[in-house]
Chains A and B, each alone.
Chain A
């Protein structure tokens, strides 16, 4: 294991530690979505997945 991997691992740990309280705050304060809200999220994300698959075919 080289020093770059160790630094990358330490940086990731730092980001996780910093982001964890923010994530907890967002979970507590985010409004709940209805099934229609979730559908309006799933459809564009599915389109993105299909688009990435198209890009893979093109490369």
Chain B
């Protein structure tokens, strides 16, 4: 009995801490997605040129890789997350403007948006209800992601539309895997920093949205 009580008292603070990380992550993720939508709208209104996308992606990724980890444990980390997500949202503006100008553009954007939301919520709900540990996916997903980056690099020179479509499809699968992996890490106490957890999940959502836009844009305009 005493042993049971001590087990309960030892586990409870950890479970509370995990729930707190999860709650804070989803709260910050919601705010950053709204902020990205806001900066994307500003970028569309300003009619920014296509190169804005490339510059924003590179800027956002450099800050996420080299600056954010140094400030992840301080309040400044939250500001840096908003800087990154705002920048990535701003970069989306010209892409959304381009898709909106297509004959079926509004529909493509709405479907990509709804599809991304459904994929994220479905996979998150799957992990949260089954509470499966997906930590075994880490190496597999990183290797897959590196291979996709290599394929994308090759396609910059090869310019094969079918390969571009294939890369987008694989990115959706890999990012879906990362949603399972990252959410599982949060609920099993592997990730205790909600700033880093938020940026990880944000990147998966951003990549799924861009890839869905590309797939639906190509498939929706081939007649």
**Which residues of A line the B interface, CB within 8 A?**
1, 4-5, 7-9, 11-13, 15-16, 18-20, 22-23, 26-33, 37, 40-41, 44-45, 47-49, 51-52, 55-56, 58-59
Contacts and interface: CB of A to CB of B under 8 A. Distances in A.
A32 B123 contact: no
A8 B156 contact: yes
B83 interface: no
Contact of B132 (A5, A27, A40): A40
A44 B139 contact: no
18 contacts: A16-B150, A19-B145, A19-B146, A23-B142, A26-B139, A33-B136, A33-B137, A37-B133, A40-B130, A48-B119, A48-B123, A48-B173, A48-B176, A51-B119, A51-B122, A52-B212, A55-B212, A59-B216
Interface residues of B, number: 49
A31 B192 CA distance: 19
Interface in B59-87: 61, 65
Main secondary structure of the interface of A (DSSP, over half): helix
| From A16, A40, A48, residue with most partner B Cβ within 10 Å | A48
Main secondary structure of the interface of B (DSSP, over half): helix
Interface of B: 50-51, 54, 57-58, 61, 65, 104, 107-108, 111-112, 115, 118-119, 122-123, 126, 130, 132-140, 142-143, 145-146, 149-150, 152-153, 156-157, 169, 172-173, 176-177, 180, 212, 215-216, 219-220
A56 B215 contact: yes
A12 B177 contact: no
Contacts of A41: 134, 137, 177, 180
A49 B173 contact: yes
A34 to B, nearest CB: 8
